[in-house]
């Protein structure tokens, strides 16, 4: 939809009066965090919104949204104060409202995919807040929050942390067609950390874990039982694995996946030996997972800001027009970097044609763990624009023809 600008101070104050006296819901959003609140008071320069829950804006401004008479309005406003119950924000200088779309938009779900990179000034100095990071990880978080983290530095600091748990550990980035142990193959398949607390007790290999985000051999054996394996075969396999671990001298082990977007491209492994008194416990699993998430985020951020999503991750396009596109993103390593008004350089792959455009993210809709983002084309070549016009026109004509044939 086209967005109209409302910059009349009188009209904006009229909306604020209605929001207050009609107790209309106001939505405040900062990155992936969103709250609902009510306007309790406002002055010439600021407004106070009372809310419930936890809200700590990641930036010095928030996205303000509300609806009046069926029309949706939004603006970015500065944050002045936030005491945990009431947040004081600036009065918007202008509001944007949605109106009828300028261009017809067609559904292309499954027919068109996009790749993009984020346009940013990588040399821009930023104030980085590490107050919320665990003290011993503050230096890593400091590096991670840069536009383009130093991957070697991140890997070095993460490596130093895992060596505090066990000297037998590694950070491994996978090579194409490389052969891996069975445990790593399970991590690649299920994209979850693998954990055995005590290799001297085979029951630990298949013991039910009290959470669904960690695996052991139980998941593998359950699948094999569906394929026809008998309990005798499973017992035989458990004995084989116990003998293997005994020969290697392993006492307990954790293998956690390193991801680039949704693909497992490496792992961190931590192993204690049989003679070690310490066994790796579930809190160690979550700590190692946090470290692999740091590496994953650093790799994704470098890829997004420096290069693009490339072949690693294609974004499905839900609908498209000459003026913009609506896309769905379900990778947490991409979502956390995106925000409204950000510019991206996107390429759209049609059958036999690539269209490129510099786009602005105008709206982000949250769909559980995924998002859908509406983008507006800011720069597009005449040739690509002409292609889109013909593509949309032909798609609409084809759809109308199909409807007539069905009736």
Domain closes at, from 276, 306, 336: 306
The reply to whether 262 and 317 lie within a common domain is: no
Q: Assess whether pLDDT exceeds 60 at residue 310.
A: no
Token output for 116: 């993009």
Lowest model confidence (mean pLDDT) among 43-52, 115-124, 362-371: 115-124
Q: Per-residue pLDDT averaged across 312-340, rounded?
A: 85
Same domain, 302 and 164: yes
Are 11 and 63 in the same domain? yes
Q: Are residues 21 and 62 in the same domain?
A: yes
Average of per-residue pLDDT across 13-30: 88
The domain that holds 53 is classified in CATH as 2.30.110.10
pLDDT, tens only, 257-294: 998 877 898 999 999 999 988 899 999 999 999 899 88
Instruction: Kindly report the number of other CB atoms within 10 A of residue 62's CB atom.
Output: 27
* Vertex 36 angle, CA 370 and 39, to 5°: 150
Answer with the one of 240, 274, 306 that is the final residue of a domain: 306
Same domain for 353 and 276?
Answer: no
Q: Which two tokens stand for residue 268?
A: 């961190």
Q: State the Cα–Cα distance between residues 137 and 159, nearest whole angstrom.
A: 12
Residues 394 and 339 in one domain: yes
What pLDDT, on a 0 to 100 scale, did the predictor assign at position 193?
A: 96
For CA atoms 145, 150, 152, 153, the dihedral sign is negative
The mean of the pLDDT values for the chain is 85
Q: How confident is the model at residue 306 (pLDDT cuts 50, 70, 90)?
A: low
Q: What is the dihedral of CA 103, 105, 111, 112, to 10 degrees?
A: 50
| Residues 323 and 187 sit within 8 Å (Cβ to Cβ) | no
242 and 113 in a common domain: no
Of 6-20, 89-103, 165-179, the poorest mean pLDDT is in: 89-103
Query: Tokens for 93?
Result: 């200088």
- Domain count along the chain: 3
pLDDT at 195: 96
Question: What's the rounded Cα separation, in Å, for the pair 316 and 262?
Answer: 14
Where in the sequence is the domain holding 140, given as residue range(s)?
A: 135-306
Task: Kindly report the pTM of this predicted structure.
Answer: 0.56
Residue where one domain finishes, among candidates 274, 306, 338: 306
Residue 229, Cβ density class (10 Å: 0-12 exposed, 13-18 middle, ≥19 buried): middle
Contact 265, 299 (CB under 8 A): yes
Query: Is residue 232 predicted with pLDDT exceeding 60?
Result: yes
CA distance 76 to 342: 13
In a domain, 128, yes or no: no
**Structure confidence at residue 60 (pLDDT):** 82
Q: Are residues 151 and 295 located together in one domain of the fold?
A: yes
Q: Is residue 127 part of a domain?
A: no
Q: Is 354 found in the same domain as 290?
A: no
Give the CATH number for residue 141. Answer: 3.30.450.40
In a shared domain, residues 165 and 38: no
Residue 248 and residue 349 share a domain: no
Same domain, 173 and 230: yes
């Amino acid at each position: 939809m086209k967005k109209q600008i409302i910059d009349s101070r009188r009209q904006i104050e009229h909306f604020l009066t209605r929001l207050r006296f009609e107790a209309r819901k106001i939505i405040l959003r900062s990155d992936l965090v969103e709250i609902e609140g009510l306007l309790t008071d406002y002055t010439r320069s600021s407004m106070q919104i009372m809310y419930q829950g936890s809200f700590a804006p990641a930036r010095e401004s928030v996205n303000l949204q509300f609806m009046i008479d069926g029309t949706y309005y939004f603006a970015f406003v500065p944050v002045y104060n936030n005491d945990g119950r009431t947040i004081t924000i600036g009065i918007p200088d202008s509001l944007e409202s949605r109106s009828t779309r300028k261009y017809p938009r067609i559904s292309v779900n499954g027919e068109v995919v996009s790749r993009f990179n984020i346009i940013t000034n990588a040399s821009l100095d930023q104030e980085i807040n590490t107050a919320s990071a665990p003290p011993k990880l503050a230096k890593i978080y400091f590096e991670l929050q840069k536009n383009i983290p130093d991957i070697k530095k991140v890997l070095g600091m993460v490596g130093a942390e895992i060596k505090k748990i066990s000297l037998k550990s590694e950070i491994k980035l996978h090579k194409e067609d490389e052969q891996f142990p069975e445990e790593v193959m399970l991590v690649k398949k299920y994209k979850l950390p693998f954990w055995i607390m005590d290799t001297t007790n085979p029951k630990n290999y298949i013991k039910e874990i009290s959470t669904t985000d960690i695996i052991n051999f139980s998941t593998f054996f359950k699948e094999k039982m569906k394929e026809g394996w008998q309990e005798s075969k499973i017992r035989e396999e458990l004995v084989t694995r116990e003998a293997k671990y005994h020969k290697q001298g392993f006492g307990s082990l954790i293998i956690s996946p390193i991801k680039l977007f949704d693909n497992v491209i490496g792992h961190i492994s931590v192993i204690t030996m049989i003679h070690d008194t310490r066994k790796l416990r579930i809190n160690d699993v979550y700590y190692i997972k946090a470290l692999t998430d740091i590496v994953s985020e650093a790799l994704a951020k470098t890829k997004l800001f420096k290069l693009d999503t490339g072949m690693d991750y294609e974004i499905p396009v839900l609908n498209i027009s000459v003026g913009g596109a609506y896309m769905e993103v379900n990778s947490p390593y991409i979502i956390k970097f995106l925000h409204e008004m950000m510019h991206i350089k996107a390429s759209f792959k049609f059958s036999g044609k690539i269209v490129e455009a510099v786009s602005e993210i105008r709206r982000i809709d949250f769909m559980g763990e995924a998002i859908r983002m509406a983008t507006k084309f800011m720069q597009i070549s005449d040739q690509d624009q002409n292609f889109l016009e013909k593509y949309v026109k032909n798609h609409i004509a084809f759809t109308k023809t199909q409807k007539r044939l069905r009736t």
